[in-house]
Amino acid sequence: MAKFNVKIVTPEKSFFEGDVDSILLDTTTGRVEILANHIPYAAGIVPTVLKIKKDDEVKYAALSGGLLEFKDNRAIVLSNSAEWPEEIDVERAKKAKERAEERLKSGDKRVNKERAKLALRRAEARLKAVERAK
């Protein structure tokens, strides 16, 4: 299978770089899979589990959101945070999910619902990354 280069960058570090068969992630317009020779593409990324496939190996990572650009057989992902499943504190993610759900259920007008929805999505992405890596 043809390969392409992927680089994932956060403000703290270069999280991943390498040649892969495909990446699969959720964007603001839906789920997208990028393969070699894909047409040029750019999209916003929502909190998601990124699936990276290379040969017979599959890796998962939790992304907090960001931007994706693909052109000339090179994908660049910019994200505020990216974590491998083994880096995720599962208990902390569960508590973050519970807090976000409580905020969304509350009738408190001071709660920023959009912010709570994003927090919920980030926590769910982290938990899904851990589950899929098992």
pTM of the model as a whole: 0.92
Residue 15 and residue 68 in one domain: yes
CA distances from residue 82 to 13, 40, 115, 123, 129 in whole angstroms, order as listed? 10, 23, 19, 12, 11
Residue 56 and residue 120 in one domain: no
> Which residues, in sequence order, are bridge partners of residue 83?
62
Q: Can you give the three-state secondary structure of 16-36, one letter per residue?
A: EEEEECEEEEEECCEEEEEEC
Residue 78 and residue 107 in one domain: no
Please give the tally of structural domains in the chain: 2
Indicate whether 108 pLDDT > 90: no
Q: What percent of the chain has pLDDT over 70?
A: 100
Q: Which domain holds residue 34?
A: 4-83
- What the block records as the tokens of 38 is 């894909």
Residue 74 and residue 114 in one domain: no
pLDDT digits (tens, 9 = 90+) for 25-41: 999 999 999 999 999 99
